[in-house]
Structure 1
Amino acid sequence: MILETRGAKEKLDMQSATNMFIRSRKLKNLTGNTVASYEQALAKFNAFMDENDIGKVNDVILEDIQEFIQTRHDEGNSAPTINKYIRSLRAFFNFLLSSGYLSENPMEAIDKLVEEKRILRTLSREQVMALLEAPNRSTPAGYRNYVFILLLLDTGMRLEEALTFRVNDVFWQERVIQVFGKWRRERLIPFSDVLSVHLREYLELRGDSENDVFFLNVDGQPLKRRTVQEEISDYGKLAGIKGVRVSCHTLRYTFARNYVLNSGDVVSLMRIMGHKSLHMAQLYTEMFQTDISKQHDKFSPVSSIFN
């Protein structure tokens, strides 16, 4: 069934509709990564529609979207990746429906794919210590990277948050850092006394700058996402860490694992890590259940008596 326009709204071509949608997302002050994710998904979708001679959003039907999803699957995309396309398309068509360009939403009958249970691999204590030995702390860049790794391990920050918080976002007395996470949600993340010492030392080494972003490169500019990812991966190789991909996500998961093992509650973990619902925090708890059971055996008074 071809969708009809609502009222006097003209039929939009795919690219014009995409431009309107992306502009609306930017006006919502979404993060650059979120907007880029929408742009990438819709670029793929528009190219697919163009290949099938579908030029107007009103001409898109359920079967077209199903075929697009099947094509992504045939290309070898994982369920989580395909679900990102589905989320982007759902937001896109919801926008067109609410704006009056569509009378029906072809995404209504599209469900997300079932995803396999995620395995969150983390670093052991020994691997963390080896990783922290990798940066050359005698150089300004090496010490900065050392402090950056400490920050991720101590706070569970997302990479984007760690790259963009400013000097004035650090509240030293309260020992919290103000960040703006996904969907530009503001939150306060606590940090330890140990990290506080290193943050202050880095700030002294960094010196004054016209740029108020906390972590800067040698040219006084904010660090690049890709550069940080590559450097942390290289440090993992230098440290001889095997069996675990050393990445910013891994450091974030390592924080979560240690938080749970040290009796941190799920609700607090959710707030610290910026999760919108309890789903991810509960996932952490489930994934680390074996470790929790070992901790119980170690500290149980009954175990100590009989062992």
Structure 2
Amino acid sequence: MQKTIRKYKRGNNAKSTNKVTGELTLFEMFDRFMAVKKTEALSSRTITDYYTNFEYFKKYLVEDLSADEIEIDTFRGFIGYMLHEMELSPVTANVRIRTMRAFIRFCFTEGYIKNPIHESFKPVKTPEDTLESLTPAEIKKLLNVIDDEMYTGFRDKIIILVLLDTLVRISELVAIKRANVDLKAGFITLEAGETKTRKTSSVPLSSKTIKLLAEYMKETEEFGDDHLFLTYDGHKINPSTIRIILRDYGKEAGISNKRVSPHTFRHTGALLYIMNGGDPFSLQKILGHSHMNMVRKYIQMTDTDVRRQHNAFSPLNAVFGKI
């Protein structure tokens, strides 16, 4: 495939125009943008993502741009480059596009550039998401391969149950401290600094999870660490470690057609919550989403799921009784 010529690539002798005109260059604008973002109480991960996504754009440009050189074709070319030369998925490309739109919107609002370029390039269309979930039978197969006589196996079993029961994100799970767990009230508090919404929230626990968590917390008390989930030598566990552990359990359980990951449990838990008669509004609160359209993505049902629900809740049941 013939590569697209990058319109804005300039020679090595090109110099920043701000020395002459007093205007900021694109890279200098980004520094200003990030200085503002760091005052917005964003998570360290979000700040890192901004820098990472902009680095991809810098590699595409090769050289800095003056304010006058920042045009819509710059960003359209970047989008085409990601999709057709790097062959990124639309979902991955959109992550970087959204960063650039937020940055350029800031530049326009601050008066660094004259035109609202961000209004002329938008995230690309993506296929409708099909989120994978595990069946109850697959969850049982997964739990059955875990040796919970060993500390790490018992911990891993608790992790799976907490992921399913509370629907927390993996970043939230590893940040849970022992003090955040109220076994008597049956809640785990998620601290504002660790949630995606930057708000403190509480997620409920089922009686089964409470019982096993009590046993686990008693067993790990001697480690003396504030965090709930720990490595075998008593240190805070890493999210990537959990991802690898779950993947390996999935392989051992023979679940080869689905990805066994923390996020898969979030999808699974949300779907099973609805299938068991839970309402979408309480699910929205547990998931920590501000918009119902995000909740809808988590509860995609198969035709079999829909038929089972229809049999249980058909309007005819109210007329003739449940058969």
Taking structure 1 as the reference length, the TM-score comes to: 0.88
| C-alpha contact (below 8 Å) 2:29/2:112 kept by paired residues | no
Alignment of 1:18-29 (within 5 A): 18-29=30-41
Q: Are the equivalent residues in 2 in contact too, given 1:152–1:252 (CA < 8 A)?
A: yes
After superposition, the CA RMSD in angstroms is: 2.5
1:74-110 residue CA offsets vs partner (Å, 9 max, x unmatched): 1221111111111111121223334443343321111
Greater relative CO (CA pairs within 8 A, separation 6+): 1
Q: Give unmatched runs, 5+ long, in structure 1.
A: none
**After superposition, what is the alpha-carbon deviation per residue over 1:269-307, rounded to whole angstroms, capped at 9, x for unaligned?**
111111121112123345456513322214658579796
**Residues 1:232 and 2:243 aligned together:** no
| 1:10-159 mapped onto 2 (5 Å cutoff) | 10-50=22-62, 53-56=63-66, 59-74=69-84, 75-159=86-170
Q: Give distance in 1, aligned partners of 2:120 and 2:143.
A: 49
Structure 1 CA distance for aligned equivalents of residues 300 and 146 of structure 2:
33
Structure 1 residues 231 and 19 mapped into 2: Cα distance closer, same or farther (>3 Å)?
farther
Bigger radius of gyration:
2
- What's the secondary structure of 1:114's corresponding residue? coil
How many residues matched?
A: 298
Letter in 1 for 2:77: E
* Letter matched to residue 142 of structure 2: L
Q: Which of the residues 247, 250, 253 maps onto 2:261?
A: 247
Residues 157 and 58 of structure 1, relative CA distance in 2, 3 Å threshold:
farther
Q: Alignment partner for residue 185 of structure 2, among 158, 174, 180?
A: 174
Q: 2:205 aligns with which of 173, 191, 199?
A: 191
Deviation per CA, 1:136-160, whole angstroms, max 9, x where unpaired? 2122122111111111111111111
Q: Distance in 2 between the 1:33 and 1:183 partners?
A: 13
- The runs of at least 4 aligned residues of structure 1 exceeding 4 Å deviation read 298-307
The 3 A distance-change label for structure 1 pair 183 and 96 is: farther
Q: Structure 2 stretches of 5 or more lacking a match?
A: 1-16
Name the CA shift for 1:137/1:38 in 2 (closer, same or farther; >3 Å): same
Question: 1:221, CA displacement in angstroms?
Answer: 2.2
The alpha carbon displacement at 1:128 in A equals: 0.2
Change (3 A) 1:202 1:15: farther
SS at match of 2:129: coil
C-alpha distance in structure 2 between counterparts of 1:26 and 1:198, whole Å: 40
Partner Cα separation in structure 1 for residue 299 and residue 42 of structure 2 = 29
Q: What SS does the corresponding residue of 1:119 show, helix, strand or coil?
A: coil
**Partners of 2:67 and 2:223 in 1: how far apart?**
48
Q: Is the 8 A contact 2:271 2:300 kept in 1?
A: no
* Pairwise CA distance, 1:267: 1.6
Share of identical aligned residues, percent? 29
Displacement of 1:23 after TM fit?
Answer: 3.8
One-letter identity of the residue aligned with 1:248: P
When structure 1 is superposed on structure 2, of 32-41 and 83-92 the one drifting more is 32-41
Structure 1 segment 264-283 matched on structure 2, within 5 A? 264-283=278-297
Q: In the aligned structure 2, how far is the partner of 1:35 from the partner of 1:290?
A: 42
Which residue of 2 is the match for residue 163 of structure 1? 174
SS of 1:108 mapped into structure 2? helix
Look up the match of 2:230: 216
1:262 paired with 2:276, answer: yes
